Structure 1
Amino acid sequence: MIVLQQEMRFEKPLNVPKIKDVKIHSDFWSRYISLVGNVVVPYQWEILNDKIEGVEKSSAIRNFKIAAGLEQGDFYGMVFQDSDVYKWLEAASYVLEANYNEDLDRKVNEVIDLIEKAQWEDGYINTYFTIKEPQNRWTNLQECHELYCAGHLIEAAVAYYLATGNDRLLNIARKFADHINNVFGPDEGKLKGYPGHQEIELALIKLYEVTKDERYLNLARYFIEERGKEPYYFDIEWEKRGRTEHWPGLIRNFGREYAQTHLPVRKQKEAVGHAVRATYMYSAMADIARITKDEELLETCKALFKDIVTRKMYITGGIGASAHGESFSFEYDLPNDRAYAETCASVGLIFFAHRMFLVDHNSYYYDVIEQILYNNIIGSMSLDGRSYFYVNPLEVIPKACEKRWDTQHVKVPRQRWFGCACCPPNVARLLSSIGKYIYAYSENELYVNLYISNEYEVDIGENKVKIILNSDYPFGDNVLLRINVKNPLAFDLKLRIPKWCVEYKVFVNGKEENNYKKEKEYVVINKTWKNNDEIFLNLITLPKRVKSHPRVKDNIGKVAIMKGPILFCLEEVDNGPNLHELFISKDSRLEIKFEEQILNGLYVVYADGYRIDEEDFGKELYREDYEYKLLPVKLKFIPYYAWANRGKNEMRVWINEI
């Protein structure tokens, strides 16, 4: 039984919307949501079934058919190949919740049939071990991702149950979770292990919140608390299996920081190691802190979050600067051309930030979420939804990606699929669930966190409230909310003021509102709302130059261009080759303009700048008297999320300023 600590500094519990209750009609975001439902999810289904020629083979569905005894053959792919199917199922479930589709539901149930047939009598499911090494299950937690895959199955099961009310997959997942609970834990005779790749912890908490079965919360907490203790479990299991390794000389050589096992979690104050594993674990820690009112664990989460966003996060919201181990590097080490910034790591940071908001109720976390969403997340996927970045650099010279070993992890253009395909379905499940992130509420307050046009019906206390939100943010500055209630109702309306907002004004029913409080960068309007009350929020977010902390050595003397959360970049197709020879004038005005002819319409920032005159070059590689003649040019910046959609060409975020 979990014993709740005395409540100290925890805010009032908040609820998040159901996806089906938020009807998004934003011109910007509706396109992405439609793209996921109509293109991305169907495209990935074809990939998982090996029906698209000329892309990396998946065999993920076939693995389940073999494990279920429906086909003959050998396992193909990564040891965690099952997780691609589960993340697809989760994304498909969110699509179904938002807009039910009988054909998609039929496909989902085809997969559920396979999972059910592949499940062992004791509840175990994993196609790799079922097909290749049935005698070796639970013997290599460090490398073989059994608990990671189980976590993604549980998340998919919860999502499908909440979307449809059908508990078939949920029952399969519970049977598996019960098996895991019988295998692991502090009790005599159980394994004292924990996952090599964290994920199941946050999934078990979702399962607990749906079922109210405390065993799942206790197991999640056990996996978190056991991590980093001595004797070191991964050494114990390595010795037990005769020192064999799934990836010889790879994961064990990364060291204990790689999987955040170097210290017990409560003593970890710096984000280290594999960035995806870290953020999934931190997300679960934040959930546990919220549910159990664990002050110490919350303080640990705050320290880890601060370390990431103040010392280790790219301006795109990307994290994990090092290709070696897909890991965090040291503080302020954020190289642009060698950036790793894995898409999955940004997804994980959104999960972490969202959970921290639910505990701390601070706008600060949503500034980070917005920065990631508008840059690294949507920028990782092509505008047609059929190709993806695993790695998200901030500077690209295609020839360098082909010739230099230290930038070969950067693939330009986007890839149609990957041998390790964790990122594409991760983006699909995030974007298809974006409605959950717009609002949060309690019995007497409503937070508005993202200014995405939508209609939302919510129960505030015992009363139904309908919110109609229309916004041209972030390219425009205007947000209009209308409140529909049957009877007058008093509650706090909390409007987030983003950190990039230089000034703002609030109007209620046409009159400027000055009678409000400011809490944690939210405007809090407390009043009795009547039907058709209107709130107009004017957020001024001008195009601006942004500089790095001086210790980010790659960016000294350079600036980046942003408007609100939107980051802009230079591309060769607009500005010519050798982008490093361009400079932006300190005195230049930044002019934003909508260009219909670029990629079906983009906002573009123009600025005055200079290019080195190549006719002034000598033939010598080095010269004492090299002085560059500068020619005036008009610089053209497009949103970072839209780069690499017009062929293979150079790209650059940071530009020298003179």
Structure 2
Amino acid sequence: MTKPDVRHHPQTPVYSHKINDPFWSHYIELVRSVVVPYQWEALNDRIEGAEPSRAIRNFRIAAGEEEGVHYGMVFQDSDVAKWIEAAAYLLSAKPDPELEVLVDSVIETIARAQQPDGYLNTYFTLREPGARWTNLAECHELYCAGHMIEAGVAYYHATGKRMLLDVVIRLADHIGTVFGAEPGQLLGYDGHQEIELALFKLYETTREKKYLELSRYFLDQRGASPHFFVEEWEKRGRTIHFGELDMVHRHTYSQSHLPVREQSTAEGHAVRLVYMCAAMTDVATETGDTSLREASERLWSNIVSKRMFITGSIGSSAKEEAFTGDYDLPGDTAYAETCASIGLIFWAKRMLQLNQDSRYADVMERALYNTVISGMSLDGQRFFYVNPLEVDPEIQRLNPIYAHVRTRRQGWFGCACCPPNIARLLASLDQYVYTPVVEQATLYVQLYIGGEAEFTLEDRRAWLTMDSDYTSTGEVKLIVRPDSSEGMEFTVALRKPDWCVNPELWINGENTDQDGFILESGYMKVTRTWKSGDEIRLHFPMELLRMKGHDHIRATFGKVALQRGPFMYCLEEVDNGRGLHRIQLPRDAQFSVGSGERMPLGVPALTTIGRRMVSDEDWGIHLYRSDVQWDIQPAELRFIPYFTWANRDEGEMSVWIRECE
């Protein structure tokens, strides 16, 4: 077989960015020194007290290196793939010979586990070799294949090594023989979307259009009639893999209730929806498919205007980890899976390539600075699957409607999709900072994360150094260095964050008023011939915002949530005592920023004087009374950044607080 010529798309603007940031460098180093090594130990079942994974052992057994049987979920392979992908991004940023040797050894095992026809899946190879591609609704074969493809592409770009890339090319080619409209092929698609966006990445790397077409095929087939999942269920004698399966409801759960181009509301499993939309946006951008673009925009609008929590998390219901209805955003029973916010960020990045509008980057920032890093403890060794906005440990231990909520992060999970997903996102965070657009000769600054960037516009290179104190003071400085002594004309588009009313901008020390830039689609656009050493300085005043929910959101009506800069804040019992529901925040309360115990990473706590409602009555045997008088007492309140909650003593937490006169 002739190997595809692997290269960057000549029309794709290329940039590299090495992060050096007072906030984010900590997280990236944590991923490098703690998270990836810790997850390697978890994948090899060496974390005391954590649920076993056996994911590496499954591959070793499938490769003939060990004896044994498959253990774990049908999608256990994906944990290994995401770990490799995270390691690849780390290697791309900084050489690590020891890590590279370790990854190479895993890849060799994976290559030996691949079947002669290109098939790769340890569950079906070891458990049900005769049942391949018979239960796509439940069994995640294409999902696991997609994650392995993403790992193969990332590792190739990081190291130049082709072994895993060649494995996933054979796997993708095998999938292309199984699925399609030709006689003998399956007119089907995956139950859990992922293969679609992975195939697009493989297309970008190889420029083989068959992978783009296969990605589009899977999108086009979803929701087609007669319904594929029902047909395959009938063919296998109506057997199911998991405990319950409502085949009618399965359509909505997996976004196959309508063709993707006709969908207008976010339905079903949240992670599946955003992965699907990321692929839709990829294909729309590449092909100019107007109907896919319009569907992507409709679904985005529905989520961010009606179905997203203020922390940038999505998925209101623990049942099926799903969206429910418009404005149904309960903080205490929220599912708000870490992976769903990560998927939302994947999608936002692609929407920014399709349409340069800051509202996509605003959501990306909200999800990143709040839900995603809340999903991992500050020491990088414990993880949340679910990210609620309100908890009461005493009640949550007793009431089964809270069974999905944890008030302590866990070391690992039987279904461990979130920890390696966090690792691969943070390790690749450099890819989310800028969006170069060649046809506009414009460099869009999406996230104010410090570091050194190199980019190409119209076949000319330039370098950009960003020094950022965005998370503490809102101060950012950028230095431009074109590759020509004559300078280079292009536009720098600086995102105006949605939380900042009046940003300040200086060019080479001169204050730039509204006449010095064009404010367009949420960006301050500065066009000039840039000379080496030109300086852009920004100040985003970090005013304290009292955020209110839409009046249709029952859970937040009459309450406020505090935001400073990109961070949401919350109350914890350890600071404010038990009974957070008794606390009220006066409308005229004045806040002190940064007083008291020092918070991590330079993000300050907030303190103020609020009110606590108490009763001195002897309630006796009464549960309800008509003659109770509430005593309102002053209470010193301390709010901490939401991403830091549950790193101290276990207790109540709440993002929303009742407001009073």
**TM-score (normalised: structure 1):** 0.96
How much has 1:531 moved relative to structure 2? 1.1
C-alpha distance in 1, partners of 2:548/2:390? 16
Residue 118 in 1 paired to residue 113 in 2?
yes
Residue 415 in 1 paired to residue 416 in 2?
no
2:134 equivalent among 118, 139, 142: 139
Q: Residues 18-70 of structure 1, C-alpha deviation per residue, up to 9 Å, x if partnerless?
A: xxx31211111010000001100000000001112211000000000111111
Q: Residues 438-495 of structure 1, C-alpha deviation per residue, up to 9 Å, x if partnerless?
A: 0111342211111111111222333331111112113312111111224211111111
Residue 266 in 1 paired to residue 261 in 2?
yes
1:15 equivalent among 13, 23, 47: 13
How much has 1:596 moved relative to structure 2? 5.4
Structure 1 residue ranges without an equivalent (≥5): 1-12
How much has 1:602 moved relative to structure 2? 4.4
Assess if the C-alpha contact under 8 Å between 1:388 and 1:424 holds in 2. yes
How much has 1:312 moved relative to structure 2? 0.4
Report the counterpart of residue 278 of structure 1 in structure 2. Answer: 273
Assess if the C-alpha contact under 8 Å between 1:16 and 1:437 holds in 2. no
C-alpha distance in 2, partners of 1:16/1:394? 38
Report the counterpart of residue 540 of structure 1 in structure 2. Answer: 541
Report the counterpart of residue 333 of structure 1 in structure 2. Answer: 328
Report the counterpart of residue 655 of structure 2 in structure 1. Answer: 653
C-alpha distance in 2, partners of 1:111/1:617? 66
C-alpha distance in 2, partners of 1:258/1:16? 37
C-alpha distance in 2, partners of 1:534/1:597? 32
What secondary structure does 2:98 align onto? helix
How much has 1:359 moved relative to structure 2? 0.3
2:45 equivalent among 46, 50, 54: 50
C-alpha distance in 2, partners of 1:182/1:482? 51
How much has 1:515 moved relative to structure 2? 2.2
Q: How does 1:545-624 map to 2 (within 5 A)?
A: 545-593=546-594, 595=596, 597-598=598-599, 602-616=603-617, 618-619=619-620, 620-624=622-626
What secondary structure does 2:549 align onto? coil
Q: Which amino acid aligns with 1:549?
A: H
Assess if the C-alpha contact under 8 Å between 1:153 and 1:173 holds in 2. yes
Residue 457 in 1 paired to residue 458 in 2?
no
Report the counterpart of residue 197 of structure 1 in structure 2. Answer: 192
Report the counterpart of residue 8 of structure 1 in structure 2. Answer: none
CA RMSD of aligned residues (A): 1.5
Report the counterpart of residue 644 of structure 1 in structure 2. Answer: 646
Q: Residues 358-405 of structure 1, C-alpha deviation per residue, up to 9 Å, x if partnerless?
A: 101110100000000000000010000000000000000011221110
Report the counterpart of residue 625 of structure 1 in structure 2. Answer: 627
Q: How many residues align?
A: 644
Assess if the C-alpha contact under 8 Å between 1:505 and 1:539 holds in 2. yes
What secondary structure does 1:637 align onto? strand
Report the counterpart of residue 360 of structure 1 in structure 2. Answer: 355
C-alpha distance in 1, partners of 2:105/2:396? 41
How much has 1:413 moved relative to structure 2? 0.3
> Equivalent pairs: percent with the same residue?
50
How much has 1:251 moved relative to structure 2? 5.7
What secondary structure does 2:397 align onto? helix
Residue 211 in 1 paired to residue 213 in 2?
no
1:233 equivalent among 228, 233, 243: 228
Assess if the C-alpha contact under 8 Å between 1:595 and 1:603 holds in 2. no
Q: Residues 297-338 of structure 1, C-alpha deviation per residue, up to 9 Å, x if partnerless?
A: 101110000000010000011101100100001110011110
C-alpha distance in 1, partners of 2:608/2:278? 40
What secondary structure does 1:503 align onto? coil
Assess if the C-alpha contact under 8 Å between 1:604 and 1:637 holds in 2. yes
How much has 1:239 moved relative to structure 2? 1.2
Q: Structure 1 residues 617 and 25, CA, compared in 2 at 3 Å: closer, same or farther? A: farther
Q: Structure 1 residues 281 and 600, CA, compared in 2 at 3 Å: closer, same or farther? A: closer
C-alpha distance in 1, partners of 2:170/2:502? 54
Assess if the C-alpha contact under 8 Å between 2:23 and 2:471 holds in 1. no
Q: Which amino acid aligns with 2:459?
A: E
Structure 2 residue ranges without an equivalent (≥5): 1-10
Q: Which amino acid aligns with 1:508?
A: I
- 611-620 or 254-263: bigger deviation: 611-620
How much has 1:505 moved relative to structure 2? 2.0
Q: Which amino acid aligns with 1:570?
A: L
C-alpha distance in 2, partners of 1:598/1:495? 29
C-alpha distance in 2, partners of 1:590/1:307? 34
C-alpha distance in 1, partners of 2:99/2:597? 34
Residue 473 in 1 paired to residue 470 in 2?
yes
Assess if the C-alpha contact under 8 Å between 1:143 and 1:196 holds in 2. yes
- 183-192 or 442-451: bigger deviation: 442-451
